[in-house]
Chains A and B, each alone.
Chain A
Amino acid sequence: MASAGARRFLPTFVGLSSIVLILAAVEILIRGGLINRFIVPLPSDVAKSFGRVIVEEDIFHRFLLTGWECLAAGVLLTVFGVAIGVLLHQVPLFRRACETWVAAMASAPLVLAYPLFLVLFGRSALTIIMLAFIAGLAPVILKTIEGLSTTRRVLLNVGRSFKLTPAQQFWKIYFPSALPTIFVGIRLGLIFALINVVGVEFLINFGGLGHLINELAERYDLAGTYAAICFVVLVSVVFFMATERAERWLTSAA
């Protein structure tokens, strides 16, 4: 029993140990002078600077700012993305005309238009929110269309046999059936939004966590820069895991 449990956690242990070993090797190589400590800081210094970055750089406030920008972009892309998806599903001609355009939009490097957004909205949170909104829109639209199109025929027939009006058919049959797929789209959109929010904050030197990394790098605070990057990676991973768990819960509940 104990050996089965040990076997179960062995891969996780090996994965974690490998990371610790790599960090220890880097520490030794830097202390031995084989890696320049003015380019790569000591991992122990990075670990120590976490506390300093959290307290002195007001990371909680920055975290809230980035979170608020993500939330605003998330609300916008949910409202408009789902609405556009429903519209395209309801009007098949529009869908056939526009679906490939929406898919093409997903592959375009929209974030590169950030200088244009700076001109339109100024160096403000609105620029960040609008860019994140536009970057995350395509997956929400595409997944909404997919969810509504794959509604089971038997459910639609049940609705028809009850003589539901088109509005009732949508709210009682289509929408609940498509909800898990729509949520997959919203989740993808939120991930794109987070990537773009942090990225644009970094590029325009404004806002929350992305701005912090740029500021620390410009101050040449090496350990602080690495610590801030680790913090942002951690936030992204937690965000990704939380949305994944919510998606699993919604899929199992549906």
Chain B
Amino acid sequence: MADIGRLTRARGAAPWLTPVTLVRAVIVLSVLVIWQLMAVSGWFYGDVVPSLRIVTVALVNLLSGGDFYWNLWATLQEVVVGLAIGGLSGIVAGLVVGANKFLAKAFEPYLYYLGPTPKIIFFPIMIMWFGTGYGSKIAMGAVSCFFPIALNVAAGMRQIDQVLIRVGQSFRANPWQMALKIYLPAMRHPIINGLRLGLGVALIGTLLAETKISNRGIGFMVIDAYTKFDMPRMYAILIVLFVLAIGANALVARLGGLDDIKQK
């Protein structure tokens, strides 16, 4: 009994101060120390490289004010609606192209080659079509995420186990039932992976559009801090934004079980 207890403890209680944690802590501390030295050295403009205390104060002010959350909410709305529109149309396009070899040969090259083009260049068109408000930002998000989602779904569609498809056909499932009962459940991981990639590019598309023309959103806050030359606030916004973006990416991967696939 005592032996079992000892074994359980040995396996369960991993030491928190591993060499990896130590190296990470040393790197973070080194970066902070170098930053502080740069700030107090006088070699750089104080406004461009503010001290850690000033950046921390800006971070606290940012997170304690309602302004940030109001703008974050505006960006979130645009990203979510853009992801919903681009994601749904991407899933439909991916299903259609992935299910039919002829359509794949006819249209997939366009999806494949248009995917890596810089989407922000379509923003002038979006402004003309949808105006300078929410519409053009949502459209930018939708256009940005459409391609990775469509390509992932099409690729995932081709990897479905043929046995599952034959089972569906033997039950005489109609196309709608095939999509809902066979294709979509079998393609959970490609769809989640596509949505993860789509979320990243939709976020970038929306935020960049906000920096160009907007009066709300996190992108607007960044460019507003730039025009007012409020550098500590800009650093604070960028730190929070990067943490949020990385966290959202990791969360979608974990919820979709992508981490489990990688570990296998």
Contacts and interface: CB of A to CB of B under 8 A. Distances in A.
A237 interface: yes
A39 B129 CA distance: 6
B116 interface: yes
A242 B19 CA distance: 44
A77 interface: no
Contacts of B250: 104
Contacts of A109: 200, 203-204, 207, 241-242, 245
B24 A232 contact: no
Interface residues of A, number: 50
Contact of B246 (A11, A104, A114): A104
B122 interface: yes
B212 to A, nearest CB: 6
Contacts of B245: 107-109
A93 interface: yes
Given A198-B118, A202-B123, A115 B19 contact: no
Contact of A119 (B20, B124, B219, B226): B226
Contacts of A213: 121, 124
Interface in A230-250: 232-233, 236-237, 240-241
Contacts of B238: 112-113, 116
B106 A14 contact: yes
B20 A107 contact: no
A18 interface: yes
Interface in A215-240: 217, 222, 225-226, 229, 232-233, 236-237, 240
Nearest to B227: A115
B129 A96 contact: no
Contact of A217 (B107, B124, B204): B124
A226 B122 CA distance: 9
B261 interface: no
Contact of A237 (B48, B113, B246): B113
Contacts of A113: 238
9 contacts: A39-B129, A110-B242, A112-B211, A116-B238, A120-B48, A226-B125, A232-B117, A233-B114, A233-B117
Interface of A: 10-12, 14-15, 18-19, 39-40, 93-94, 96-98, 104, 107-116, 118-120, 191, 194-196, 198-199, 202-203, 210, 213-214, 217, 222, 225-226, 229, 232-233, 236-237, 240-241
Top 9 A-B pairs, shortest CB-CB distance: A11-B105, A115-B226, A217-B124, A15-B106, A11-B106, A97-B23, A107-B249, A236-B117, A195-B118
Given A109-B200, A236-B117, 18 more contacts: A39-B129, A93-B23, A107-B246, A108-B245, A112-B211, A112-B222, A113-B238, A115-B226, A115-B234, A116-B238, A119-B229, A195-B116, A198-B120, A202-B118, A213-B124, A225-B124, A225-B125, A240-B113
